[in-house]
Chains A and B, each alone.
Chain A
Amino acid sequence: MLEEKNRWEEKPVEVAFNSITKRFPPDILANNQVSFEVKKGTVHALLGENGAGKTTLMNILYGLLLPDEGEIIIRGKPTKISSPREAINLGIGMVHQHFKLIPTHTVSENIVLGLTSTPFFFPAEKAEFEIKSLSEKYGLKIDPRARVWQLSAGEKQKVEILKALYRRANILILDEPTSVLTPQEAEELFATLRAMKEEGKTCIFITHKLNEVKEIADVVTVMRKGKVVSTTLSSQVSLEELARMTVGKEVISVVPRKITSDKTILQLQEVSAMGDRDFPALLNISLTVRKGEIVGVAGIAGNGQKELAEVIVGLRPVTKGHIFLEDREITNLLPRDIASSGVAYIPEDRHLGLVGEMSVAENLLLRGYSQPPFSQGFWVDWEKAEAYSEKLISNYQISPPLSDIPVRILSGGNRQRVVIARELERKPKLVIASNPTAGLDVSGVEAIHKLLIKAQEEGAGILLISGDLDELLKLSNRIVIMFRGEIVGEKEKEHWTEEDRREIGLRMGGVKR
């Protein structure tokens, strides 16, 4: 162990953060005297709660923001990076939390775009050969001629990584890369990272998943409230220690309650629907959710889960079959009517649930603005709304606790809390939750789980769609498995075992029993 430590210490420093401080108006201290070193040829994990300042720090390294104080030292040289172009020239590449590709362009066009060396005509042709060889070398399988809009999230990420590698990045920043990936895709990503390490490239890897830190990172820096808590070799800390360091207190796990009622809340009878590309996305789905029950929907992303949620909340037409909420048929009703009959929806895409330009208070009011107590008709009582949002901000621990800032500037996790606070505060009968904890930190995940279980205790039926099998096993009373638009398996259990996990995992991949 000591030997390992020595080996690490001997490596040259690639990037050093030296007392970086960054403030945002009005008075958010996003980075507070952040100092640590990243060694060459390592994978360096950055861990921390939502809003800890990880993305901010990386944006500083990538030249998107300038620090208020402190400096960045690259390969021993203090360096002022004031634009991404300069960062790229320094060999720094970044894959953002939200991808920045042009959907209608091809993969190779996206990769060469914006480079001065790119020829004016047929920019992509010349590059194709190099892109192919890069993608083979690092195990990033992708068709350079595919159009970006056709790609899944995992494939888009590969394009982003290729884009950085094509620009000769030696330092690659990945901001929560795995939150959009299936377990298999995550494995592929790790293989790529290992290949990069072999080449002496350095990788800074932001994540909320502790086991990933143990699996792929050599070193881990934990941040909390803008400060560095510690930087250690990841082999020398346990998962429990990491969890404690990120949240600063013990995390208490919750377990779901048994079902106490047989009353059916949601029933789907042989429901079919089309997907976005005129291809049947749902085939004869039959499904029930009872009062006080959490039904997990397992499956690899893109097997109809998104469409399933959409047909229930009324955003996608049902082409065949019936949907009932309690005794009332809600097939193809307007989203508003479905919502007001007691269906809450936590969409997968957070942009969908929020209006970025509007304030936190306004976003929290998106469901209730036209009803008492906030409105008696025409006017909205904004004083009441303000008080209400203050209450929700503190109950759901939304940070920073300011109700008048645009929701757009909140961190990803806090934006999710805004959606969840708004949806669950309505005391719904049925909750449709699509990947509600994607991108959340450990305590955020726990908090959301607790909220879902609280809703369950209060009698809501919950349909939990998640790409994270561990989450489903932790919360579900029953799990259905989706594959290519169909339900290919269903299991009900009080305690899930390792055996169940393996079986469900295989079924998700289409393996029949």
Chain B
Amino acid sequence: MDRRKFTRFHIEVSVQPSLASVIFFSLLAIILAFACGGIIFLFYHISPWVGYQTFFQGALGSWYAFSETLKRTIPLLLVGEGLALAFRAQVLNIGAEGQILLGAVAATWVALFSGLPPFLLLPVMFLLGFLSGAGWALIPAFLKTRFAVNEVLSTLMLNYVASNLVLYLIGGPWKGKGVRGFTYTDTFPEAAWLKTMGITRVPYFTLLVGIVIAVGGYFFLKKSALGFELRVVGSSPETAKLLGINEEKIVFLAMLLSGGLSGFAGVGEVAGIHHLLRHPDHISLGYGYTAIIVAWLARANPLATILTSFLFGALLSGGDALRVSLGIPFQVVSVFNGLILFFLISTEHLSRYRIIWGDTKVVENYDS
């Protein structure tokens, strides 16, 4: 018996995964993740059907839902496009979470303690926020280039340091005067609030910057000399060395951009949404980690992060809806994220395969 007798197609490995197959398999991964996620609804005695419905309602079902999705898209976009650039250089910055917090801390200092004239507040907040995030990321860059310390570990550890720094500030020196038992700072003066679109909570400045940088980052990688070097270092460090490309410079650049954009996103969160500095978990909401998936799913293409960050923005606000209307803990959404990442990694390899339909000549198998 030859099982291949019924084949109507065959499969071939192609060198370059085509765009179509990348999209196909990415969507497949997401669908599979949702299918598995459905099981979780059953644990909460909720029909998966109702679960999904609530989820999609909450993500895109109304203008309000859409704006909530956008609100979450912005930080993911800013951080994700920075990480995309870093990942292209094979610089594995896992510390965006901490870099976001550093941006938020810098912005808070400017807003509450700098004593700058009101019209200067926002510009200086963003500038200093970018620099603080970048500076925070330069520590692992320095450790990597000088002492060959693996950046995955060092960036990750610095997340805890950043988180504790925020906790210390809001509980101690920066603790608000009127907040009594709570631990957060005073509210920023209104000059340090970011304008939002209409009645929504979507600050359009950061949204605009995110989109401009996605486009700019794309052209930077594709068309600039520095972007070219970055890609060479990322895909073949030995060749880069032979050509004399300064690898250290690229590592610093990648950390600077990804850290800086994370810091920038952190400013956007406190200036646009919270208007004060509060518990680290409420500022960054795990954006720093989710953005890793955003960049990965975009195949480290800055332009594609526009799409993927929106997707994850929707996922997060859909998760909010689940929590509010159905009482499912927010962590469940993290499970979705994890599942998507898991299926992405498992299908990554598959996107190189091409399925060729058609009646291939099927012949007797050699019996061995």
State in angstroms the CA–CA spacing of A378 and B236 once bound together.
22
Q: Which residues from 107 to 132 on chain B have a C-beta closer than 8 Å to any C-beta of chain A?
A: none
Q: How far is the CB of B316 from chain A (nearest CB, A)?
A: 33
State in angstroms the CA–CA spacing of A78 and B364 once bound together.
7
The answer to whether B235 touches A335, judged by C-beta atoms less than 8 angstroms apart, is no
B200 close to A (CB within 8 Å): no
Contact among B15, B242, B368 with A345 in the assembled complex (CB-CB below 8 Å): B242
If the complex has contacts A90-B368, A351-B238, A409-B15, are A379 and B223 also in contact, measured as CB distance less than 8 A? yes
Contact among B223, B235, B242 with A352 in the assembled complex (CB-CB below 8 Å): B242
12 CB < 8 A contacts A-B = A65-B12, A79-B363, A80-B363, A315-B241, A338-B244, A339-B244, A352-B239, A362-B228, A369-B229, A378-B225, A379-B225, A409-B16
Q: How far is the CB of A204 from chain B (nearest CB, A)?
A: 18
Chain A, Cβ-Cβ closest to B354: A25
A427 close to B (CB within 8 Å): no
B362 close to A (CB within 8 Å): yes
If the complex has contacts A375-B225, A409-B15, are A71 and B236 also in contact, measured as CB distance less than 8 A? no
The answer to whether B361 touches A355, judged by C-beta atoms less than 8 angstroms apart, is no
B150 close to A (CB within 8 Å): no
* A 328-371 binary contact with B (CB < 8 Å = 1; else 0): 00000011111110000101000111111110001001110110
Q: Which residues of chain B are near A339, meaning CB under 8 Å?
A: 243-244
The answer to whether B242 touches A357, judged by C-beta atoms less than 8 angstroms apart, is no
Q: Which residues of chain A are near B223, meaning CB under 8 Å?
A: 379-380, 382
Chain B, Cβ-Cβ closest to A314: B244
Chain A, Cβ-Cβ closest to B15: A409
State in angstroms the CA–CA spacing of A315 and B245 once bound together.
12
If the complex has contacts A336-B245, A353-B242, A378-B224, are A25 and B364 also in contact, measured as CB distance less than 8 A? no
A264 close to B (CB within 8 Å): no
Q: How far is the CB of A359 from chain B (nearest CB, A)?
A: 11
If the complex has contacts A378-B225, A380-B228, are A356 and B244 also in contact, measured as CB distance less than 8 A? no
* A 177-197 binary contact with B (CB < 8 Å = 1; else 0): 000000000000000000000
Q: Which residues from 69 to 123 on chain A have a C-beta closer than 8 Å to any C-beta of chain B?
A: 71, 74, 77-80, 82, 86, 89-90
B226 close to A (CB within 8 Å): yes
Q: Which residues of chain B are near A340, meaning CB under 8 Å?
A: 244
Q: Which residues of chain B are near A65, meaning CB under 8 Å?
A: 12
State in angstroms the CA–CA spacing of A38 and B360 once bound together.
25
Contact among B225, B229, B235, B360 with A356 in the assembled complex (CB-CB below 8 Å): B235
Q: How far is the CB of B8 from chain A (nearest CB, A)?
A: 14
Other A-B pairs beyond A80-B363, A89-B366, 15, CB < 8 Å = A79-B363, A79-B366, A90-B366, A313-B242, A335-B243, A336-B245, A339-B243, A345-B242, A352-B242, A355-B239, A358-B232, A369-B225, A369-B229, A370-B225, A380-B223
A505 close to B (CB within 8 Å): no
Q: Which residues of chain B are near A380, meaning CB under 8 Å?
A: 223-225, 228
State in angstroms the CA–CA spacing of A79 and B360 once bound together.
13
Chain B, Cβ-Cβ closest to A376: B225
Q: Which residues of chain B are near A89, meaning CB under 8 Å?
A: 366, 368
Q: Which residues of chain A are near B232, meaning CB under 8 Å?
A: 355, 358, 366
Q: Which residues of chain B are near A308, meaning CB under 8 Å?
A: none
Contact among B4, B225, B229, B231 with A80 in the assembled complex (CB-CB below 8 Å): B4
* B 165-198 binary contact with A (CB < 8 Å = 1; else 0): 0000000000000000000000000000000000
Residues of B within 8 A of A (CB): 4, 10, 12, 14-16, 223-226, 228-229, 231-232, 235-236, 238-239, 241-246, 360-366, 368
Contact among A77, A335, A362 with B242 in the assembled complex (CB-CB below 8 Å): A335
Q: How far is the CB of B252 from chain A (nearest CB, A)?
A: 17
The answer to whether A408 touches B364, judged by C-beta atoms less than 8 angstroms apart, is no
The answer to whether A358 touches B235, judged by C-beta atoms less than 8 angstroms apart, is yes
Q: Which residues of chain A are near B4, meaning CB under 8 Å?
A: 80, 82
A406 close to B (CB within 8 Å): yes
A124 close to B (CB within 8 Å): no
Chain A, Cβ-Cβ closest to B236: A355
A424 close to B (CB within 8 Å): no
Q: How far is the CB of A73 from chain B (nearest CB, A)?
A: 10
State in angstroms the CA–CA spacing of A369 and B363 once bound together.
52
State in angstroms the CA–CA spacing of A75 and B10 once bound together.
25
A472 close to B (CB within 8 Å): no
Q: How far is the CB of B104 from chain A (nearest CB, A)?
A: 31
What are the 10 A-B residue pairs with the smallest beta carbon separation, nearest first? A336-B244, A335-B244, A89-B368, A355-B236, A370-B225, A357-B235, A78-B363, A375-B225, A79-B366, A80-B363
The answer to whether A358 touches B244, judged by C-beta atoms less than 8 angstroms apart, is no
Q: How many A-B residue pairs have CB under 8 A?
A: 99
The answer to whether A77 touches B236, judged by C-beta atoms less than 8 angstroms apart, is no
A421 close to B (CB within 8 Å): no
Chain A, Cβ-Cβ closest to B226: A378
* A 299-343 binary contact with B (CB < 8 Å = 1; else 0): 000000000000001110000000000000000001111111000
Q: Which residues of chain A are near B15, meaning CB under 8 Å?
A: 406, 408-409
A66 close to B (CB within 8 Å): yes
State in angstroms the CA–CA spacing of A66 and B360 once bound together.
10
Q: Which residues of chain B are near A314, meaning CB under 8 Å?
A: 244
State in angstroms the CA–CA spacing of A362 and B239 once bound together.
13
If the complex has contacts A355-B232, A356-B235, are A347 and B242 also in contact, measured as CB distance less than 8 A? yes
Q: Which residues of chain A are near B368, meaning CB under 8 Å?
A: 89-90
Q: Which residues of chain B are near A358, meaning CB under 8 Å?
A: 231-232, 235
The answer to whether B363 touches A352, judged by C-beta atoms less than 8 angstroms apart, is no
The answer to whether A74 touches B243, judged by C-beta atoms less than 8 angstroms apart, is no
Most B-side CB within 10 Å, residue of A351, A362, A378: A378
State in angstroms the CA–CA spacing of A65 and B10 once bound together.
11
Q: Which residues of chain A are near B361, meaning CB under 8 Å?
A: 71, 80
The answer to whether A353 touches B364, judged by C-beta atoms less than 8 angstroms apart, is no
State in angstroms the CA–CA spacing of A338 and B244 once bound together.
9
State in angstroms the CA–CA spacing of A79 and B364 once bound together.
7
The answer to whether A369 touches B242, judged by C-beta atoms less than 8 angstroms apart, is no
Chain A, Cβ-Cβ closest to B365: A80
Contact among A74, A334, A379, A408 with B224 in the assembled complex (CB-CB below 8 Å): A379
Q: Which residues of chain A are near B10, meaning CB under 8 Å?
A: 66, 82
Chain A, Cβ-Cβ closest to B245: A336
State in angstroms the CA–CA spacing of A313 and B228 once bound together.
22
Q: Which residues of chain B are near A375, meaning CB under 8 Å?
A: 225
State in angstroms the CA–CA spacing of A378 and B225 once bound together.
6
State in angstroms the CA–CA spacing of A314 and B239 once bound together.
13
Q: How far is the CB of B183 from chain A (nearest CB, A)?
A: 46
Q: How far is the CB of A185 from chain B (nearest CB, A)?
A: 26
Q: Which residues of chain B are near A334, meaning CB under 8 Å?
A: 244
The answer to whether A336 touches B228, judged by C-beta atoms less than 8 angstroms apart, is no
State in angstroms the CA–CA spacing of A88 and B116 once bound together.
76
State in angstroms the CA–CA spacing of A71 and B236 once bound together.
39
Q: How far is the CB of A362 from chain B (nearest CB, A)?
A: 7
Contact among A25, A79, A366 with B243 in the assembled complex (CB-CB below 8 Å): A366
Chain B, Cβ-Cβ closest to A380: B225
Q: How far is the CB of B349 from chain A (nearest CB, A)?
A: 16
The answer to whether B246 touches A369, judged by C-beta atoms less than 8 angstroms apart, is no
State in angstroms the CA–CA spacing of A375 and B37 once bound together.
51
State in angstroms the CA–CA spacing of A79 and B239 once bound together.
42
Chain B, Cβ-Cβ closest to A378: B224
The answer to whether A366 touches B244, judged by C-beta atoms less than 8 angstroms apart, is no
State in angstroms the CA–CA spacing of A316 and B238 once bound together.
13
Contact among B12, B225, B241, B366 with A335 in the assembled complex (CB-CB below 8 Å): B241
Chain B, Cβ-Cβ closest to A406: B16
State in angstroms the CA–CA spacing of A89 and B63 once bound together.
62
Contact among A80, A366, A408 with B239 in the assembled complex (CB-CB below 8 Å): A366
State in angstroms the CA–CA spacing of A338 and B243 once bound together.
10
Q: Which residues of chain B are near A354, meaning CB under 8 Å?
A: 236, 239
